[in-house]
Amino acid sequence: MTGLGGLNKSPDGVGIGLVQLENPNVKTPADLKKQTEKVCELIGKARRNQPTMDLVVFPEYCLHGLSMDTNPEIMCHIDGPEVQAFQQACIDNDIWGCFSIMEYNPEGNPYNTGLIIDNKGEIKLNYRKLHPWVPVEPWAPGDLGIPVCEGPNGSTLALIICHDGMFPEMARECAYKGADIMIRTAGYTAPIKHSWNITNQTNAFCNLMYTASVCLCGSDGTFDSMGEGTFVNFDGVPMVKGSNRPDEIITSELKPKLVEEARKYWGVENNIYQLGHRGYVAVEGGANDCPYTYMKDLVEEKYRLPWEDEVVHK
């Protein structure tokens, strides 16, 4: 149930809009200012489009496009004018927003940063992309972990960015910290379409968690992004899928209380619980050891693949 895309939102529902933002071409501070203004205009469009909307989500690279330009003149600061403009637009339109900036890093390469701002203009979540898309993206790997925050109408939100979603550990961490809605923003291009769809579904199903995911859309003259806004139910079934139309806003109502119910009452396929309680039918409470070699090695900082020496791009 999507409440007709959120038009008929229940009191405990969370109405979300995913903006398939047109892929921008940003090279100068003037370009950045113009793109910031466009994003703020689309926040207003989202509010006018659907008065019941609680949260509007913009894709990765919503300000900077896919050029991978690290020019300090167009990098952003958390307290800079771009973020301040987003905060004011959220206040003016009484809506939560999720945004992407390339954040200046005085210690090295910039961070690929995602922000969730509430309808009072307060930054509720600040996340730096943990897994930049190597060997393409130049961003420093994130150093803030995977935070979650309280969202509208009693929801708990997590945010991951693009390539992050290809690692099942990312979605598992979001759910383990209590997220019932995981947002995934991206700048992916068309060759990733199949992988995008199946990971959005598995991330939801394996963790009994809604996923709300959106890419840039259209062409900047070089790269063609795919749009593909997608809401997936906590049972892994897609609820709403977008087209490939730039600036289209895909909407749905999500109900965190149904996630809470499933996590509490499901026996079959309550996978996030059963991961740490293996075989509880046979063993009281289930086995709660860690049988996974890769997990142990990662913790001990000795993660190494059997084919490590043969990897070309490293």
CATH of the domain at 111: 3.60.110.10
- Rounded CA-CA distance 153/96 in Å is 11
Per-residue pLDDT of the chain (314 residues; tens, 9 = 90+): 677 777 888 899 999 999 999 999 999 999 999 999 999 999 999 999 999 999 999 999 999 999 999 999 999 999 999 999 999 999 999 999 999 999 999 999 999 999 999 999 999 999 999 999 999 999 999 999 999 999 999 999 999 999 999 999 999 999 999 999 999 999 998 889 999 999 999 999 999 999 999 999 988 888 888 899 999 999 999 999 998 899 999 999 999 999 999 999 999 999 999 999 999 999 999 999 999 999 999 999 999 999 999 999 98
Identify any residues that bridge with 185 across adjacent strands, giving them in sequence order. Answer: 161, 214
Q: Are residues 281 and 153 in the same domain?
A: no
pLDDT in tens, 235-265: 999 999 998 899 999 999 999 999 999 999 9
Domain that holds residue 293: 276-314
Q: Are residues 214 and 285 in the same domain?
A: no
Q: Are residues 169 and 296 in the same domain?
A: no
Q: Are residues 121 and 155 in the same domain?
A: yes
Q: How far is CA 173 from CA 17, 144, 295, in A?
A: 24, 13, 13
- Rounded CA-CA distance 251/20 in Å is 11
- Rounded CA-CA distance 313/217 in Å is 28
- Rounded CA-CA distance 248/46 in Å is 10
Does residue 264 carry a catalytic annotation? no
**Catalytic one of 76, 162, 215, 217:** 162
Integer Rg of the chain from CA: 20
Q: How many domains does the chain have?
A: 2
Q: Are residues 162 and 286 in the same domain?
A: no
Q: Are residues 196 and 264 in the same domain?
A: yes
Q: Are residues 183 and 296 in the same domain?
A: no
Q: Are residues 91 and 182 in the same domain?
A: yes
Q: Are residues 159 and 281 in the same domain?
A: no
**Catalytic one of 60, 82, 103, 228:** 60
Does residue 129 carry a catalytic annotation? yes
- Rounded CA-CA distance 135/314 in Å is 8
Tally Cβ neighbours within 10 Å of residue 106.
5
Q: Are residues 223 and 108 in the same domain?
A: yes
CA 244 to chain centroid, in Å, comes to: 19
For tokens 């006018």, name the residue: 48
**Catalytic one of 62, 90, 103, 129:** 129
Q: Are residues 218 and 287 in the same domain?
A: no
Q: Are residues 259 and 280 in the same domain?
A: no
* Final residue before a domain boundary, out of 230, 247, 268: 268
Does residue 60 carry a catalytic annotation? yes
